[in-house]
Amino acid sequence: MNPVIVDTGVIVGFLDEKDAAHQQCVQFFAAYSGILILPETVYAEVCSMLRNDSDLEIDFVKSVAAGSFRIESFQSGDTQRIAELVTQYQDFPLGGVDASIIAISERLKIANIATIDYRHFRAVRPKHVKAFRLLSADC
């Protein structure tokens, strides 16, 4: 199975049973058996979103420590591409975390993104493929 870059909402939705997308996210993680790539920005955003529920945050950081995700750091050119995307889509707006997912996906030549944020990822045209394949939409 091809690698997939994981967005914040899928992780939070999976962990938080009260989240509207919880079942969809549980189905995604149950069905997917490939490499899950976690951009550093998504790691930070998930921790920030879970800060009011320490048990959920602990579950998340332990799963990362156990190797459930492959952490992807910025490399040369990523921050420039993020700046380009945020500027290009400023009226949308496209935030830095979503732009980082796009920049990393372009660098790694990955078309698969696990997300519940269909609006942003359907609107942006990546450089490496015609469109992203939004995997959580398949669940």
Amino acid at 118: Y
| Residue 92: predicted pLDDT | 87
Q: What are phi and psi of 26, to 5 degrees?
A: -60, -45
pLDDT tens column, 105-137: 999 999 999 999 888 899 998 999 999 999 875
Is it the case that residue 5 has pLDDT exceeding 60? yes
Is it the case that residue 28 has pLDDT exceeding 70? yes
d(CA 123, CA 92): 9
Structure tokens at 75: 């490399």
Confidence of residue 138 (pLDDT cuts 50, 70, 90): low
Cis previous bond, 39, omega within 30: no
| Residue 139: predicted pLDDT | 43
CATH number for the domain spanning 62: value is: 3.40.50.1010
Amino acid at 10: V
Average pLDDT, the chain: 93
Count structural domains, the chain: 1
d(CA 134, CA 76): 26
pLDDT tens column, 71-105: 999 998 999 999 999 999 999 889 999 999 999 99
Supply the pTM of this predicted model.
0.92
d(CA 102, CA 132): 9
Q: By residue range, what is the domain housing residue 89? A: 4-138
pLDDT tens column, 37-70: 999 999 999 999 999 999 999 999 999 999 999 9
